[in-house]
């Protein structure tokens, strides 16, 4: 099982040449083969950056994705037309550098036909990266109930009469992807589930409850679907990532993990919980007391939202504070989220990004003597 003390969540900043190539590909100005070569270059650089920082766990930076959750939509028929706004809508809050931003949910967003997979979601990401690094590769996948935002009573009922039926099909596709990744040799897989902390906010909870599930059902049926995706794979470590929104250096909601902790920490069959803790919006470490004794809390203490340079000393102090609730041997450290959860990255430079990753590694070495 994965025992890394210095971990990563998923995405890294997309280089400008990759963003330009994506636009040219969409305009029909770049062939599929040429675009793949650009993507490959970006992945190579992402792996090299993480290796330079000293990480023992790496990702491909999600360089091949429009958003952290886009690979299911892109690899499956049935979702209908959409733009990147399908992943960006909401009332986003930012600091004085970026300000607030409100994006309406596209009115025509919604699954329109029965889902049919036309290619694997993340197998290409894993196989390519595996050939280019000797580090442990983490593959990130979305939690199935995250896609509730793609089900609409007005648009989707003909294809899927109920939200349950739709999400069961999503979970089936994701479970098949996990099985394929394991067959290919993946040993570390993460489910990204930011929608659970969004339930802490009355306004966003009202949207999710309007899909047909109340809060209790989200914490029962949603967890059941997550565990269906995870399945039973001896020798494979699963992580579960919870954050409060991360886009363009902005965030969606605030609130302690306390209302979710007992049922999420105790209910999800994951060995590692990737938890956002980079500022006061996440509350105290006290909810960690609900973490079962066979689970690890990976504390997202280093922010990806701004270029603030955390120090080893301040990170060590916070980890030792968390150790009041969970012993040090069941703690680890990571960024609070990805650096670019979509093609719209956060407002910092690649150099600042690398410095943050290096600081995480140095902190892990100081506290645990290993990464």
187-242 pLDDT per residue, tens? 999 999 999 999 988 888 888 888 888 888 889 999 999 999 999 999 999 999 99
Number of other residues whose CB lies within 10 A of the CB of residue 216: 9
The SS3 of residue 294 is: coil
Confidence band, pLDDT 50/70/90 cuts, at residue 316: very high
**Backbone phi, psi, residue 191, to 5°:** -100, 130
Confidence band, pLDDT 50/70/90 cuts, at residue 108: confident
CA–CA distance, 184 with 197 (Å, rounded to integer): 32
CA–CA distance, 244 with 35 (Å, rounded to integer): 33
| Percent of the chain topping pLDDT 70 | 100
pLDDT of residue 136: 98
Class of domain 16-368: alpha beta
Q: What is the signed CA dihedral for 260, 265, 267, 271, rounded to 10 degrees?
A: 150
**DSSP 3-state percent helix, strand, coil across the chain (nearest 5):** 45, 15, 40
- The overall pTM is greater than 0.95: yes
Domain boundaries, the chain: 16-368
pLDDT of residue 85: 84
pLDDT at 89 exceeding the cut of 90: no
pLDDT at 112 exceeding the cut of 90: yes
Structure tokens at 159: 């294809």
**Backbone phi, psi, residue 96, to 5°:** -65, -20
Structure tokens at 298: 């990976």
Lowest mean pLDDT among 71-75, 201-205, 316-320: 201-205
Lowest mean pLDDT among 83-92, 173-182, 312-321: 83-92
């Amino acid at each position: 099982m994965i025992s890394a003390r210095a971990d990563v969540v998923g995405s890294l900043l997309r280089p400008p040449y990759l963003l330009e190539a994506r636009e040219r590909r969409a305009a029909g100005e770049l062939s599929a083969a040429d675009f793949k070569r650009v993507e490959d270059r970006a992945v190579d650089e992402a792996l090299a950056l993480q290796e330079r920082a000293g990480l023992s766990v790496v990702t491909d930076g999600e360089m091949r994705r429009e958003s952290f959750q886009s690979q299911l939509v892109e690899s499956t028929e049935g979702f209908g037309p959409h733009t990147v706004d399908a992943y960006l809508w909401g009332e986003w809050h930012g600091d004085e550098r970026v300000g607030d931003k409100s994006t309406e949910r596209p009115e025509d967003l919604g699954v329109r036909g029965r889902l049919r997979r036309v290619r694997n979601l993340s197998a290409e990401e894993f196989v390519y990266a595996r050939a280019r690094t000797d580090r442990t590769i983490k593959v990130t996948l979305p939690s199935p109930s995250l896609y509730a935002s793609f089900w609409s009573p007005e648009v989707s009922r003909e294809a899927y009469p109920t939200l349950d039926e739709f999400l069961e099909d999503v979970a089936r596709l994701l479970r098949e992807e996990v099985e394929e990744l394991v067959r290919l040799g993946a040993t570390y897989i993460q489910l990204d589930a930011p929608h659970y902390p969004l339930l802490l906010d009355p306004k966003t909870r009202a949207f999710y409850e309007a899909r047909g599930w109340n809060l209790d059902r989200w914490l029962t049926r949603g967890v059941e679907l997550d565990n269906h995706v995870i399945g039973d794979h001896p020798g494979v470590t699963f992580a579960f990532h919870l954050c409060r929104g991360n886009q363009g250096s902005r965030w969606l909601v605030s609130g302690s993990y306390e209302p979710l902790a007992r049922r999420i920490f105790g209910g999800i069959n994951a060995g590692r919980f990737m938890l956002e803790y980079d500022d006061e919006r996440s509350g105290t470490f006290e909810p960690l007391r609900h973490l079962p004794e066979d689970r690890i809390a990976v504390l997202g203490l280093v922010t990806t939202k701004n270029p603030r340079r955390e120090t080893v000393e301040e990170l060590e102090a916070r980890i030792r504070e968390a150790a009041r609730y969970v012993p040090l041997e069941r703690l680890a450290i990571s960024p609070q989220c990805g650096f670019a959860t979509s093609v719209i990255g956060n407002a910092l430079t690649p150099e600042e990004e690398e410095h943050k990753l290096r600081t995480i590694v140095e902190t892990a070495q100081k506290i645990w003597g290993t990464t």
